Structure formats: C-alpha cells, structure tokens
Amino acid sequence: MNPEFLKVLVNTVVVKMPRLDIETFGTTIVTYNMITRPLYEALETDKRKEESVLRRGTVKAERPQIVTPGYMARSTGFRTEAEEFMRDLIRRGHADDPGILYTYSNEPASMEIISARPEDLAERIGAEVDRESRPREAVILGVDELWDVSLMKFIFDLTNKSAPANVADFQNTGRLSVENGVPMDARIKIDRMFVQMRNGELDPSTLHQELEAWQLFDQYEDRFFQALRGRSL
C-alpha cells in the first residue's frame, strides 16, 4: 500500500458518525467537520501553542443504484480494461450479479485555524452536534496534507455502515431481482427517466446512454421515439 494512504488509514478517526444512514431511495447530504493538526506545526519551535485546522463542508450521496459488472463495463470510459474484466466475469458466471453503486460529491464550505488541540476541538464539536440534534453531521480527525483522502476514508466507513440497510430495502421492494441481466431497480429508473425526458427535464442523450449501457435500446426503441416526439420543450 502507498505509505501516504497507510498514514491516512492509521491516523483518520471518525469521532462522530452520522446517526442516520445513507437513504436508499433518495439523495443524502452529510455535513462534515474535518479537524487536522496543521502541517506547519512540525516546523514550530514553540510546542506550547497548539492549533487545529477546521474544514467544514458537505458530502452529497446520490441515490444508490443497482448495477451489474456488465453495466459498469459498458458505461465507464475504461473500455479495454472493463471489457477484459467482463470476459473474466462471464467465464466465472458473474457478469449479471447485482451490486450497489454509491456516488458521492464533496462541496467544501469553509476553513479556519482554531487555537485548540485537535482532540479537544473534536470533542467540543461532537458534543455540540449531540446537543443540537444534528443527525446527519460527522466529526473527523484527519491528516492535514491529505485531508481529502481522510474524507474518503470517512465515506468508505459511512458506506459500510449504510449498506446492510440499503440492501434490505432493495430486497424488500424486489429491486435486487434480475431478469435477462437487468435488475428491477434499473427498469424502474429507466421508467422514471422516460417521464423526465417527456417533461423536458432530461436530455434524451442521457436516457439513450442509459439504455445502451443496459443493452436495452432495441427493446425500448419505439417508446423512446414516441417520448421524443411528445417531449415538452
């Protein structure tokens, strides 16, 4: 493992995990408080002065999506590697096995230097989050020069925490079932995209790409052109 990534794994601590999991059927926004020891402290001669860097922002988790290795191979830009991976999965009989795809984006909001030990500041903010009942807020102790990697470590932990409930929700609604290589969740998503396209809320090329990724365009071709003709502009 890259030594810098190992440093993040060892030194990133999620002091307070959000109480609520990632939503199965909607978008989730989590506020984070990333607290690090300033990199410049290693050069300071006055060890009596302790400061922390506090970065605040939000992580947006899009609605989890049921995908298969075949879909991923056709929808990513890594065509050669994906096709090779697909061939191996086909040989093993796993090309249509469903899995959950989580998609995240980070929106940093602010950064400030605070006169306090990182551990003390984390404890203080954690108590504040509890006192004010902010269930979608996290407090993280990270590595200053790799704080975004520390954030990814938090996202990984949040995903692992949420996945069992998400899987149960998908199973209970039948969305994990696969027919002819296509999960029920994907067909429900495609139906929703048809409505959005007809209402002028979705570019037709986006729906076309989704159908091609699932190798379903021939099956939906008539419906696609009917929706295109009736599209609201």
Q: Work out the average pLDDT over 195-206.
A: 94
Between CA 191 and CA 197 the distance in angstroms is 10
Work out the mean pLDDT of the chain and round it to a whole number: 89
Task: Please state the domain extents for the chain.
Answer: 3-63+102-162, 65-100+177-229
Between CA 139 and CA 34 the distance in angstroms is 6
pLDDT of 53 > 90? The answer is yes
Q: Work out the average pLDDT over 9-32.
A: 96
- Give the closest residue to 167 by CA, choosing from 185, 145, 192, 181: 185
Q: Which of 3-12, 75-84, 122-131 is predicted most confidently?
A: 122-131
Q: Work out the average pLDDT over 167-171.
A: 96
pLDDT in tens, 56-78: 999 999 999 999 877 877 765 55
pLDDT of 85 > 90? The answer is no
Q: State residue 59 phi and psi, 5-degree precision.
A: -110, 125
- What pTM did the predictor assign? 0.83
Is there a contact between 68 and 98 (Cβ–Cβ < 8 Å)? Answer: yes
pLDDT in tens, 203-231: 999 999 999 999 999 999 999 999 988 77
- CB-count exposure of residue 2 (10 Å: 0-12, 13-18, 19+): exposed
Q: For position 5, what pLDDT does the model report?
A: 78
Token output for 214:
């699932």
Would you give the end-to-end CA distance of the chain in angstroms? 52
Between CA 63 and CA 41 the distance in angstroms is 40
pLDDT classification of 49: cutoffs 50, 70, 90: confident
- Give the closest residue to 146 by CA, choosing from 35, 2, 4: 4
Q: For position 87, what pLDDT does the model report?
A: 61
